Structure 1
Amino acid sequence: MKKKSTPFDLSAMQSSAEKACALLKVLANPDRLILMCQLSQGEWCVSDLEEQLGIRQPTLSQQLGVLRDNELVETRREGKSIFYSIASKEAIAVMAVLYEQFCVQ
């Protein structure tokens, strides 16, 4: 039995593919991926991320900046502490799958 095909919008698919590639490109860095894995479990302050993940401050700041610039994370200031959380629903969905497949022991 032949399935009826749904209308195919190539332009929309290309746009979606570009967005997906952009997200995957940002995540294709081990430090950023580890950060996103940790943030997928909730909000973290910078000093705790540094201590927990063993990423040194200069690298941590640089990678968090890339995530901010790509609007994958958002910040919240509390006194002198800056807290990070995932801001992108697409990133949350991707990280949920990656966390389940690769991060859970």
Structure 2
Amino acid sequence: MDRFVTNATRASNFLKAISHEGRLMILCHLVSGEKSVTELEELLSLRQAAVSQQLSRLRLEGLVVPRRDGKTIYYSLADDRPRRMLETVYELFCKDS
């Protein structure tokens, strides 16, 4: 039973993390590969503070990982979970029937 509760908590945290439109869009952009914070700002038309706040939440949930190159920070997907989830979202909401 403890394992079930632990898995339910992990799943709930994952769903909360992707329930924000900005975080979901960040994950969508990272599916195609690593992006710098500046690139994400431009792609999302958001200020650096807003992008950084959303990346912080995604990092906390273990969905993205940072890489520093000098003063530039790049982010990529931590594993395949977001990609698989986005494929499901696409099938449910974006694919023409």
Q: TM-score range by the shorter chain?
A: 0.7 to 0.9
> 2:75 corresponds to which residue?
84
The count of residues paired between Structure 1 and Structure 2 equals 96
C-alpha root-mean-square deviation of aligned residues, in Å?
2.2
TM-score, normalization by structure 1 = 0.76
Partner Cα distance (1:21, 1:59) in 2? 23
Dislocated runs of 4+, deviation >3 Å: 10-14, 99-105
Assess if the C-alpha contact under 8 Å between 1:26 and 1:67 holds in 2.
yes
Name the structure 2 match of 1:5.
Answer: none
Identical counterparts, % of pairs: 39
Check if 1:95 corresponds to 2:91. Answer: no
Query: 1:15 Cα shift?
Result: 2.8
User: Counterpart of 1:36?
Assistant: 27
CA spacing shift, 1:103–1:39, aligned 2, 3 Å: farther
Q: Which residue of 2 aligns with 1:14?
A: 5
Alignment partner of 1:71 is 2:58: no
- Contact 1:43 1:83 survives alignment (8 Å): yes
